[in-house]
Amino acid sequence: MLELRKDIFADERDDNLNEIGKGTQRQDMLGHVTGASTYFDDHKLQGMLHLKVLRSPHAHARLRRIDTTEAERAPGVRRIIRGADVPVNLNTLLSLINFGKDDEPSLAVDKVRYKGEPIVAIVADSPREAFEALAKVRVDYEPLPAVFDVEEALKPGAPVVNETYPKNTFVYHDLYDHQKLRFGDVERGFAEADHVLEQRYQMSPIEHAPTETNGSIAAPDTNGRYVVYTSTQALFFSLDTCAKILDVPSNTFHFIGGTVGGGFGGKVDTLTEPLAILGAMLTGRPVRYQLGREEEMQFGSPRGAERIYIKDGVMRDGRIVARKIRAYFDSGAYTRLSSYAVVKCAAHLPGPYTIPNVYGDIYCVFTNRTPATAMRGFGVTAMDFALECQMDKLAHLVGIDPMEFRILNAYRDGDMKAHRREAKNTALIECVQVAAEKAKWPLREDVKRMSSRTDGGGSRATISPTPREPAPQRAAASQQRTTYDRAPPVATQPPPSPTPPPPRPSTPAPSHGATRFSSVFGTRRR
Amino acid sequence: MPVTVKTFGSTGEAASALSSDRSARYLGGGTLVMRALNEGDISISTVVRATDQALSRIDVTSSRITIGAGVTFAKILAERELAFLHAPARSIGGPAVRNMGTVGGNLFAPNPYGDFTVALLALDATVSVQGGLGARDLPIEEFLQSRERQSGALVLAVSCQRPATADAFRYRKIARIKPKGGSVITLAAHLPVSSGRISGARIALGSMAAMQIRARAAERALEGRALDDAAINAAAAVAAEGVSPTDNALGSAWYRREIVGVHLRRLLSGLE
Ligand SMILES: Cc1cc2nc3c(=O)[nH]c(=O)nc-3n(C[C@H](O)[C@H](O)[C@H](O)COP(=O)(O)OP(=O)(O)OC[C@H]3O[C@@H](n4cnc5c(N)ncnc54)[C@H](O)[C@@H]3O)c2cc1C
């Protein structure tokens, strides 16, 4: 049940708004629950043809030769489409807003970079005939070494996944191979800290698994226009992307969307529309292109897998004084939306906490895996997961209740964020208090009385100087270093001499495969 | 070539249609066959169905029970006399799959599926098969070993002895997603007891080899002994003998070997 806490921040809210703060039924809900909603696939057009795609069985291979002669003669085949038939056969979604270079072909030409990459499309009278013709296409592959691990992909000599980005990293502002955040002097913070805790977090890619797989139907309309019924969740992105790939003015298309049979980010990529329209252009007939479930998982993007290293310096009284984060987003073979996820991630560091020294390096890395994309809070969700696991571990380390530990470190109004913006309307403390109350989690009286509106600003609003070069790290004599998952375990006794400098981003710790969520137990999966 | 659907009234006709056409596939509940067709499996061009009522019959009149190949898991769950098979039936898929999926189809379901078959293997079931030339009964082990060659044959029914006591038959499926999902390991044990000692123990494992297999070393460790801690430990210690699991998305071969003994111990000691 919806409960609005109107007593909190009553002075900051306007209760005369028509929608905000009120429960309103979604306009499409009734159609969904009564089965009356119309999806793209509910359109059965006369003379409709079916498009199916030949996909790469290799994660990385050169295409030596593609022979479609036998497939062309197969029964029911109306048209075979190859990379050369696509007017502008290189695209990336966010190039529409000048963010990133075009790096993904609609149909592979020189090589394939992930298992499931489309190579040849066949338009036939029935899906079955299209499948049978696909089996007759002969492709001569030269398998190439592939890389599946983000840190392996950054090592010198790693296979180049995507020639648009020869170093296997997305390039920001035509210059930088990662996104940076620098605030204060993180090494000095570690040197002053009573405890230092470094952890590694590894996420899995997650399939959105929409009930309706990605698909579209394109049909010739009057006056040289095309009508497109589609499951996209980004109608105008999709329309503009098609105009670009097919090299026609965008008013050539009439896109009809609206009902997305489950999106969650997985229907933002414009996967099926360009080839469906091209099929309609080349045959003069309506063309339907819908992904099967397996195609949806191989070609439709998952949530990207992130690897996150967090190193925190914390005082005995629970204040976090330094936080250093190194994260790698696995973009798969092409950019799609991972580059943007990295920007969002950098904007989210160091979480909703006031920390005087913050240092972040976030990389968007190309590997020979299915390209990743948007999914519900991408760039933030995984980072939050890691940060909050870390918060629990830190609370445990200093012996403070985890809820209180969060309240202690939470942003207060007037604090300075690591992005050099003043924190306003922060409200985290109140959220944690309400959550604790709901969960019947006991909080100390003085913690219950804390507020995000008091005790902020002052020294917490200062921007401490940020060194250009990292200062050599000195460990305080009484410092205790705690390591959960890095071998060898470090003794809880103070180290005799200065500890070695932290690992540099360019020489990450060697690691293969993935560590499951809990890095506490050091269980590694290959 | 479009897909042809052929429906026959008698199992004999269906069996000869199957055995005479390599691209023909029998349609049970279709949970696997229809998926294959939708995903573009062009090796199937004929779908054979049989409407013979005998295929969906359950016979529980004697101590021996017979289940038609076309019986769904939902139907097994609705049959009180088959309570000992409810755990394996319930462990399969979600309600949609249990409503359609059949006992016959489960005999052909590849890893990580085929859970019901694990139970049947532990129960030493007999599989009635109709080939082009006539019907015959096969012990389930023999059936599974020749499964690849059975593709032209029609399974009519499976039958087995009802376990003497509720405790004599045990089943456990380890999955990552509950209640549905492919199996990491499936275990079933039939442990008949006579004068306090196990006699004729059968333990079957799923997802521990290309096919459902018996844990013969564990069976030997139990044979002639009381089901006490010592016997259970001895069986658990040798549970992985003779297995050849593979890696898949649900678990690695290494993991499966590591945990099979743990789960066998829990199964035998009646722990949840
Ligand atoms: C979402 C999902 C979840 C699933 N979960 C599970 C699970 O948890 N555990 C599990 O064991 N399985 C699971 N399965 C697999 C499958 O549904 C079951 O194994 C089911 O028993 C298959 O039966 P069916 O009648 O649907 O087979 P069908 O798809 O009709 O047939 C499968 C194969 O068996 C052959 N066949 C079927 N009946 C006969 C017969 N009478 N004679 C000869 N050949 C025959 C078919 O020709 C085909 O080759 C799942 C499937 C899906 C789609």
Q: Which of B3, B35, B252 sits opposite A128 (nearest CB)?
A: B3
Among protein residues, the one whose CA lies closest to atom 23 of ligand 1:
B105
pLDDT at A486 over 70: no
- For range A301-329, the mean pLDDT: 97
Rounded-to-integer distance, Cα A399 and Cα A493, Å: 18
Q: Using 50, 70 and 90 to split pLDDT, how confident is the model at A21?
A: confident
Among protein residues, the one whose CA lies closest to atom 5 of ligand 1:
B93
Please list every residue in chain B whose beta carbon sits closer than 8 Å to the beta carbon of residue A204: none
- For range A489-513, the mean pLDDT: 39
DSSP label of A137: -
pLDDT at A461 over 50: yes
pLDDT at A396 over 80: yes
Q: Is residue A301 within 8 Å of A268, Cβ to Cβ?
A: no
Contact criterion met (CB < 8 Å) for A131 and B40: yes
Stated pTM of the model: 0.87
pLDDT at A325 over 60: yes
Mean pLDDT of chain A: 89
Give, in order, the Cα–Cα distances in Å from B245 to each of A129, B120, B176, B202, B257: 37, 20, 17, 20, 8
**DSSP-assigned states of every residue in chain B:** ---EEEEESSHHHHHHHHHT-TTEEE-SS-TTHHHHHHTT-TT--EEEEE--GGGG-EE-SSSEEEEETT-BHHHHHT-GGGGGGHHHHHTSS-HHHHHH-BHHHHTTPPTT--HHHHHHHHTT-EEEEEETTEEEEEEHHHHHHTGGGGGGSEEEEEEEEPPSSGGGEEEEEEESSSSSS-EEEEEEEE--EETTEE-S-EEEEESSSSS-EE-HHHHHHHTTS-SSHHHHHHHHHTTTTT-----BTTB-HHHHHHHHHHHHHHHHTT--
Rounded-to-integer distance, Cα A8 and Cα B138, Å: 74
pLDDT at A482 over 70: no
Q: Which of B2, B35, B252 sits opposite A128 (nearest CB)?
A: B2
pLDDT higher at A499 or A208: A208
Span A168-193, pLDDT tens digits: 999 998 899 999 999 999 999 999 99
Residue of B97, B100, B212 with the most ligand 1 atoms within 8 Å of its CB, for mutation: B97
- For range A60-78, the mean pLDDT: 98
State the Cα angle at A199 between A390 and A432, rounded to 5°: 5
Cross-strand pairs, B175: B183
pLDDT for B132 equals 73
Which of A11-15, A320-324, A484-488 is the least confident region? A484-488
Q: How many CB atoms lie within 10 A of CB A7?
A: 6
Pairing between strand A358-366 and A320-332?
parallel
Q: Is residue B118 within 8 Å of B169, Cβ to Cβ?
A: no
Among protein residues, the one whose CA lies closest to atom 47 of ligand 1:
B26
Contact criterion met (CB < 8 Å) for B40 and A525: no
Enumerate residues 120 to 159 of chain B having a beta carbon within 8 A of any beta carbon in chain A: none
pLDDT at A484 over 50: no
Tokens 């590997």 belong to A367
Does residue B50 have its Cβ closer than 6 Å to ligand 1?
Answer: no
Residue B200 Cα, ligand 1 centroid: separation in angstroms? 30
Residue B98 Cα, ligand 1 centroid: separation in angstroms? 10
DSSP label of A423: -
Please list every residue in chain B whose beta carbon sits closer than 8 Å to the beta carbon of residue A135: 42
pLDDT at A504 over 80: no
Low-confidence ranges of chain B (pLDDT < 50): none
Rounded-to-integer distance, Cα B204 and Cα B206, Å: 7
Contact criterion met (CB < 8 Å) for B39 and A526: no
- Percent of chain A at pLDDT exceeding 90: 82
Q: Which atom of ligand 1 is nearest to the CA of B25?
A: 47
pLDDT for A12 equals 81
Closest B-chain CA to A74: B1
The answer to whether residue B233 neighbours chain A at the CB level (below 8 Å) is no
Contact criterion met (CB < 8 Å) for A135 and B42: yes
Among candidate residues A133, A110, A111, A103, the one with its CA nearest the CA of residue A121: A133
Tokens 């592939």 belong to A146
Among candidate residues B56, B103, B64, B105, the one with its CA nearest the CA of residue B81: B64
Rounded-to-integer distance, Cα B232 and Cα B243, Å: 19
Q: CA of A132 to nearest chain B CA: how many angstroms apart?
A: 6
pLDDT for B178 equals 73
Q: CA of B92 to nearest chain A CA: how many angstroms apart?
A: 20
Sign of the Cα pseudo-torsion (B89, B93, B94, B100, in order)? negative
ipTM, 2 dp:
0.87
Among candidate residues B183, B170, B133, B184, the one with its CA nearest the CA of residue B154: B133
